[in-house]
Amino acid sequence: MKILGIDEAGRGSVIGPMVFGGVVLEKKDLRKLKEINVKDSKLLTAKQREELYPLIKKIAKDYVTLKVSAQEIDELRKRINLNKIEAEKIAQIIKTMGADEAYVDAPQVSTGKFKKILEELAKNHTKLIVENYADSKYRICGAASILAKVERDEEIQRLKEKTKFDLGVGYSHDERSREFVRRFMDHKKFSKYIRHSWVTVSDIREEKEQKNLGDFK
**Whether pTM exceeds 0.95:** no
Q: Are 39 and 65 in contact (CB under 8 A)?
A: no
pLDDT band, residue 209 (cuts 50/70/90): confident
Q: What is the mean pLDDT of residues 10-25?
A: 97
Q: How many domains does the chain have?
A: 2
Share of the chain above pLDDT 90, in %: 92
Does residue 174 share a domain with residue 111? no
Q: Which of 135, 160, 185 is where one domain is finished?
A: 160
pLDDT the model gives residue 150: 98
Neighbours of 187 (CB within 10 A): 13
The CATH code of the domain that includes 171 is 1.10.10
Helices 199-216 + 175-184 axis angle, to 10: 60
166: helix, coil or strand? coil
Q: Are 159 and 195 in contact (CB under 8 A)?
A: no
Does residue 148 share a domain with residue 45? yes
Nearest Cα neighbor of 90 from 189, 11, 155, 170 is 11
Does residue 168 share a domain with residue 146? no
Does residue 111 share a domain with residue 156? yes
Does residue 167 share a domain with residue 154? no
Domain, as residue range, for 174? 163-216
Q: What is the DSSP letter of 194?
A: B
Does residue 135 share a domain with residue 52? yes
Does residue 84 share a domain with residue 95? yes
Q: pLDDT digits over 56-112, tens only?
A: 999 999 999 999 999 999 999 999 999 999 999 999 999 999 999 999 999 988 999
Does residue 122 share a domain with residue 47? yes
Does residue 190 share a domain with residue 91? no
Q: Which of 143, 160, 177 is where one domain is finished?
A: 160
186: helix, coil or strand? coil
Does residue 131 share a domain with residue 29? yes
How far apart are alpha carbons 197 and 63 in whole angstroms? Answer: 31
Does residue 95 share a domain with residue 56? yes
Does residue 73 share a domain with residue 154? yes
Q: What is the mean pLDDT of residues 115-122?
A: 95
